[in-house]
Amino acid sequence: MSRSPSLPFKNDPPRAGEIDRGAARDKVVVGVADLAVVRDATKSIVTYALGSCIGVTVYDPVAKVGGMLHFMLPESTVNAEKALANPAMFADIGVPLLFQKVIEAGARRERLIVCAAGGAEVLADDGHFRIGSRNRTILRKIFWKQNLLLAADDTGGQHSRTLTLRLADGVINIRAQGKETQLWPH
Amino acid sequence: MATLNDALATLDTLPALPTTSIQLVGMLASGGREADLREIEAIIRHDESIAATVLKLANSAAFSSPGRTFSLGESVRRLGSRTLCRIALETQVSGTLANAGRSYGLRRGSLSQCAAGGALAADTLARRHRIDPELCFVAALLRDIGKLAIDALAGPEALEQIAAQADARPFLAYEREAFGADHAELGGILCERWGLPSEICGAVRGHHEPPSHPASAVTDIVHAADCVARWAGLGLGCDGLLYVFDSAARERLHTTRDELEALVADVLSASTPQATRDLHSLRSTA
């Protein structure tokens, strides 16, 4: 039997929208049902614990403007009050808001590199809920309607993911199952 | 690889739930028959974090008595015994769980947030389905207490290594292989050792694998609430979503997609610290 009484904790998580200055590079943290748009090439944007939720990143490599959305559910019709209070909770109103905010911050739509991660599913969901896959489906529909292409995505499965967008060069990393991989550029 | 005996021996080394928490569980589980405002006030007086929360809530718009109060006794009267028990218990369990879950890669406070979010979901579902809301609230709050034992058993990064190789089996199976017992079973045993009511012990033990013979409505509710919390992104560590939503439990509850998705949106606000929480959820229990 092994014990780990002194196993260190990870740093306390900064609150959503705060800058994590303890990290090697300043990070803007996007919470669950939250979005952030940043125009500062020294920073990264990160979101933790993407399960069935999906993280969407947009990045303009010329303006060095980037944004990230962490939405929970596909459609805002499920809870109109929450949708009004926090549009970032839902894909159908959160994704357009992300694009609006990043363009307001100086990005150009035609230059945007769009990526996504998350959309995991609980085991043996017999089709009743499938929140992860319905999140993935609505994202594809939104991009189809907007005539946008996903540059890269890492979705599905059962594991939780941490998604990071580095604004200096647009590199997107995913940490899952104890491993870090680069999602973009391929 | 640890055995069940190793796992059980570890339980002896864990800090006990505060005696006052066990008293509060008893008061809630009795449906208020054993609740004594003076006893509750005495518990609150000895815990600054609970007292501060109680004063803040008593002066909030949700409890609309005129004028401000700086008196704990007046606050106790305004809020009522059930709300007070819940606040006090949630604050204490939150403190116990604040440092739990590190072996799962969870950050400090994540498991407390997950407990609070699941407890709100369980309370809401229980009221809708006419099942004892206090038992469901307490059991959901304590459902992951066994992760304290896994933290003590697991070496650094042990669970991350397990998760990296996991296929599509429930995470509990890997815990049983590695530690001789899973966190749900260990949590149930801990609750039994603390003398908590059997419905709560059973719901903690079965919150990922609710039994069908005999089925328990409290366990089914806590199981559904746990899934809701996971869908809200609460308490997600390296175990991710490697858990099953039991279709038999879903059928017994007659729960629907719309019902649970609406709850996913609600539990996010419930997972913020009690003192800053949206007070509407508490108002319904006052």
In this prediction, residue B165 has a pLDDT band, given cuts at 50, 70 and 90, of confident
- Give me the torsion for CA of B53, B54, B58, B59, rounded to 10°: -40
Q: What is residue B65's predicted lDDT score, i.e. its pLDDT?
A: 60
The better pLDDT of the pair B49, B214 is held by: B214
Per-residue pLDDT, A15? 44
Is the pLDDT at A127 greater than 90? The verdict is no
The H or E element spanning position B94 is helix B81-97
Size of interface A-B (CB pairs under 8 A): 152
Q: What is the pLDDT of residues A141-153, one digit of tens each?
A: 999 998 999 999 9
The DSSP symbol for B18 reads P
**Positions of A marked active-site:** 53
B277 part of a folded domain: yes
Closest-CA distance, A87 to chain B, in angstroms, reads: 11
Contact B100, B144 (CB under 8 A): yes
8 Å CB contact of A158 and B99: no
Of the pLDDT bands very low, low, confident and very high (cuts 50, 70, 90), residue A128 is: confident
**Least confidently predicted of A99-103, B60-64, B243-247, B272-276:** B272-276
User: Residue B82: which pLDDT band, with cuts at 50, 70 and 90?
Assistant: confident
Band of the pLDDT at B270, cuts 50, 70, 90? low
Q: Please report the pLDDT score of residue B34 as a whole number.
A: 66
3-state helix/strand/coil string of A99-110? HHHHHHCCCCHH
Overall number of domains in chain B: 1
Range of the domain at B185: 4-16+100-283
Chain A residues interacting with chain B (CB cutoff of 8 angstroms): 1-5, 7-13, 32-33, 48-53, 70, 72-73, 78-79, 82, 89, 120-126, 128-129, 131-132, 157-160, 177-179
Among A95, A159, A131, A127, CA closest to B232: A131
B121 located within any domain: yes
Q: How far is A3 from chain B (nearest CA, A)?
A: 5
The Cα-based distances of A157 to A33, A186, B77, B225 in angstroms read 21, 20, 50, 21
Residues of B in contact with A178 (CB under 8 A): 105, 157, 160-161, 163-164, 238
Closest CA to B25 of B181, B99, B143, B134: B134
Distance from the Cα of B33 to chain A's closest Cα (Å) equals: 37
The pLDDT value recorded for residue A1 is 33
Contact status, residue A139 vs residue A54, Cβ threshold 8 Å = yes
In a domain? residue B195: yes
Residue B266 confidence (pLDDT): 87
pLDDT recorded at residue B81: 79
Give the closest-approach CA distance of B97 to chain A in angstroms: 13
Q: Are strands A34-38 and A44-50 parallel, antiparallel or unpaired?
A: unpaired
The answer, for B112 touching chain A at a CB cutoff of 8 Å, is no
Residue closest to A89 by CA, chosen among A137, A31, A139? A31
Nearest CB to B233 within list A8, A49, A177: A49
Q: Considering CB atoms only, which of A10, A131, A158 is closest to B168?
A: A158
How many C-beta atoms lie closer than 10 Å to residue B63's C-beta?
A: 18
Decide if A10 and B238 are in contact by the 8 Å CB cutoff.
Answer: no
Asked if B233 lies within 8 A of A178 by C-beta distance, the reply is no
Do B264 and A73 count as a contact with CB atoms less than 8 A apart? yes
Tell me which of B274 and B105 has the higher pLDDT: B105
Of B240, B250, B258, the CB nearest to A160: B240
Tell me which residue of B105, B270, B155 sits closest to A48, measured CA to CA.
Answer: B105
Residue B127: what pLDDT?
95
Q: How many CB atoms lie within 10 A of CB B125?
A: 24
- In this prediction the ipTM stands at 0.84
* Residue of A10, A52, A121 for testing the chain B interface, max B β-carbons within 10 Å: A52
Whose structure tokens read 């809701």? Answer: B228
Residue type, B198: S
Tokens (6 digits) for B106: 């969870």
Closest-CA distance of chain B to residue A81, Å: 10
Cα–Cα distance list, B41 to B51, B73, B81, B276, B279 (Å): 9, 7, 9, 21, 21
Q: Give the pLDDT mean for A114-123.
A: 95
DSSP at A14 = P
Domain ranges of chain A: 19-178
Q: How far apart are CA B52 and CA B72, in angstroms?
A: 9
Mean pLDDT of B21-37: 78
Q: Which residue type does B235 have?
A: G
CATH number of the domain encompassing residue B187: 1.10.3210.10
Edge-to-edge strand ranges of the sheet holding A19-20: A19-20, A27-30, A44-50, A161-166, A172-176, A179-184
- CATH code linked to domain A19-178: 3.30.1330.200
CA A167, CA A38: separation in Å to the nearest integer? 8
Q: Is residue B59 part of a domain?
A: no
Amino acid identity at B76: V
pLDDT score, position A6: 31
pLDDT at A110 > cutoff 60: yes
Which pLDDT belongs to residue B50? 81
Q: Is the pLDDT of residue A4 over 80?
A: no
Segment A167-185, tens digit of pLDDT: 999 999 999 988 899 999 9
- Among A19-23, A118-122, B23-27, which stretch is predicted with the lowest mean pLDDT? A19-23
Q: Check B230 against A178: CB less than 8 A apart.
A: no
Q: What confidence score (pLDDT) does residue B60 get? A: 73
**Contact between B238 and A177 using a beta-carbon 8 Å cutoff:** yes
Long-range contacts of B253-256 (CB under 8 A, 24+ apart): B253/B125, B253/B129, B253/B217, B253/B220, B253/B221, B253/B224, B254/B129, B255/B125, B255/B129, B255/B224
Nearest-5° Cα angle at B46, B41 to B48: 100
The verdict on B162 touching A (C-beta cutoff 8 Å) is: no
User: d(Cα A87, Cα B139) in Å, to the nearest integer?
Assistant: 32
Q: What is the pLDDT of residue B19?
A: 82
Please, which pLDDT band fits residue B106 given cuts at 50, 70 and 90?
Answer: very high
Give SS3 for B37. Answer: helix
Q: Would the CB atoms of A13 and B168 count as touching at under 8 Å?
A: no
B76 pLDDT more than 90: no
User: A164 near A182, Cβ under 8 Å?
Assistant: no
pLDDT of residue B63: 64
Could you give the C-alpha distances from A54 to A96, B114, B237, in angstroms and in order?
A: 15, 19, 16
Is pLDDT larger for residue B162 or for residue A1? B162
Across A78-98, average pLDDT: 93
- pLDDT over 50 (residue B211): yes
Contact B268 A13 (CB under 8 A): no
Confidence of residue B78 (pLDDT cuts 50, 70, 90): confident
Is the pLDDT at B102 greater than 50? The verdict is: yes
